[in-house]
């Protein structure tokens, strides 16, 4: 049978039971030390019970100043491994693979200048995110080297915790997106200038993570395929970058958009599956596997994305907050026979 939403999908040594992915979403529920809590266990574990093929944690900071809020997850310290490993073990026991999104918020991190936070924010250039936001410190080359090492160390800890996938967060106006975008990167050294200079840090982090991330485990990168502002990144930039990311060991491009400025997408653009064309364009132009995300809510819609080759994986966010068992319901709607948790068998709909 041709590819469909409930067809298994193999990446390197990992086979997902279906193409449904829980998109990373911040829960603002971590301890102040960045450790996962009972909330994360129940929240992520419920989606494993509910039938997701892959669950990706919220943005997990590679250093304390890289958190979006003071209650975001972190993986800069060995003490943060065990609470995450408990979640991974539970999800594995219920058939789901688990990924971790490693991130740095850059100039959008919480900071003392905005009323809270331990230290100044950092960015490629000393350009604030918006009026009223702090002006970030422009990272030096030595500081960039330290950040690359932080990403690599976090990937080592992710391996110790048992994760199946690492996703590098290079979207939504956070640090790596800031380096990529000409809106926020005005550097004149090797980390600025043209697209290839602005992509240098992302390439180096991919290489550093892949150096410690086992060959049999997949590596994803999340991008903002457009900045939604004139002069910013566009999907054609990623048509150029995707093959180079793949050559460095990236297996899937997770295609989101926006966030480099407060400017939202045009109202006439936003609608069901409005970001899917980005995933389709990159996949069809380069052959690099992609993941679609953004206002994907209906089983038929998600299935159509896979069947028509627009993306290899479909990520759901808010819809999985509304319905943790969306995959089980979708399988019934689409007529696919999937395993239900034995504890829930009595609630399984009749054909």
Would you place residue 110 in the very low, low, confident or very high pLDDT band (cuts 50, 70, 90)? confident
199: domain range?
Answer: 9-347
How many domains are contained in the chain?
Answer: 1
Q: What is the per-residue pLDDT for 226?
A: 97
Q: What is the CATH number of the domain that holds 337?
A: 3.20.20.70
235-247 and 200-212 helices cross at what angle (nearest 10)?
30
Separation between Cα atoms, residue 41 and residue 53, nearest integer Å? 17
- 13 in any annotated domain: yes
80: phi then psi, degrees, rounded to nearest 5: -85, -5
What is the mean predicted confidence (pLDDT) over 120-139?
Answer: 93
pLDDT at 348 exceeding the cut of 50: yes
CB neighbour class for 255 (10 Å; exposed up to 12, middle 13-18, buried from 19): buried
Output the DSSP codes for 95-139.
Answer: T-EEEEEEE--GGGS--GGGT--SS--EESSS--SSTTSPPPEEP
- 154 in any annotated domain: yes
214: phi then psi, degrees, rounded to nearest 5: -55, 150
Query: Which active-site residues does the annotation give?
Result: 174
- 155 in any annotated domain: yes
- 248 in any annotated domain: yes
Separation between Cα atoms, residue 172 and residue 187, nearest integer Å? 20
pLDDT tens profile 264-304? 899 999 999 999 999 999 999 999 999 999 999 999 999 99
- 2 in any annotated domain: no
Would you place residue 115 in the very low, low, confident or very high pLDDT band (cuts 50, 70, 90)? very low
Record the pTM. 0.96
Q: Which residue(s) pair with 15 in the sheet? A: 10
Tell how far CA 261 is from the center of its chain: 19
- 209 in any annotated domain: yes
Would you place residue 101 in the very low, low, confident or very high pLDDT band (cuts 50, 70, 90)? very high
- 4 in any annotated domain: no
Q: In this prediction, what percent of the chain has a pLDDT beyond 70? A: 97
pLDDT tens profile 36-91? 999 999 999 999 999 999 999 999 999 999 999 989 999 999 999 999 999 999 99
- 48 in any annotated domain: yes
Q: 95: which 2 tokens? A: 């058939």
């Amino acid at each position: 049978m041709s590819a469909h939403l409930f067809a298994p999908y193999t990446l390197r040594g990992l086979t997902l039971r279906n193409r449904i992915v829980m998109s990373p979403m911040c829960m603002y529920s971590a301890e102040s030390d960045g450790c996962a809590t009972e909330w994360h266990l129940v929240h992520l574990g419920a989606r494993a019970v509910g039938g997701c093929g892959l669950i990706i944690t919220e943005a997990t900071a590679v250093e304390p100043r890289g958190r979006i809020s003071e209650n975001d997850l972190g993986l800069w310290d060995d003490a943060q491994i065990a609470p995450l490993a408990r979640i991974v073990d539970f999800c594995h026991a219920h058939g789901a693979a688990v990924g971790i999104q490693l991130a740095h918020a850059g100039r959008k991190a919480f900071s003392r200048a905005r009323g809270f936070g331990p230290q100044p924010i950092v960015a490629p250039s000393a350009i604030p995110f918006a009026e009223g936001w702090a002006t970030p410190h422009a990272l030096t080359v030595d500081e960039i080297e330290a950040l690359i090492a932080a990403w690599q160390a976090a990937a080592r800890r992710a391996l110790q915790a048992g994760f199946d996938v690492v996703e590098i967060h290079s979207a939504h106006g956070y640090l790596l997106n800031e380096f990529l975008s000409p809106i926020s990167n005005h550097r004149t050294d090797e980390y600025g200038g043209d697209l290839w200079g602005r992509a240098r840090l992302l390439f180096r982090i991919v290489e550093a993570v892949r150096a410690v991330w086992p060959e049999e485990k997949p590596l994803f990168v999340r991008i903002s395929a457009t900045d939604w502002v004139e002069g910013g990144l566009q999907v054609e930039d990623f048509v150029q970058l995707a093959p180079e990311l793949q050559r460095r060991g990236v297996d899937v491009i997770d295609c989101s958009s926006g966030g480099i400025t407060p400017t939202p997408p045009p109202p006439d653009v936003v609608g069901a599956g409005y970001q899917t064309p980005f995933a389709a364009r990159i996949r069809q132009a380069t052959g690099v596997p992609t993941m679609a995300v953004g206002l994907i809510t209906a089983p038929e819609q998600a299935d159509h994305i896979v069947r028509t080759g627009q993306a290899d994986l479909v990520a759901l966010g808010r819809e999985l907050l509304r319905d943790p068992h969306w995959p089980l319901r979708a399988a019934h709607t689409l007529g696919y026979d999937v395993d239900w948790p034995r504890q829930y068998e009595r609630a399984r709909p009749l054909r």
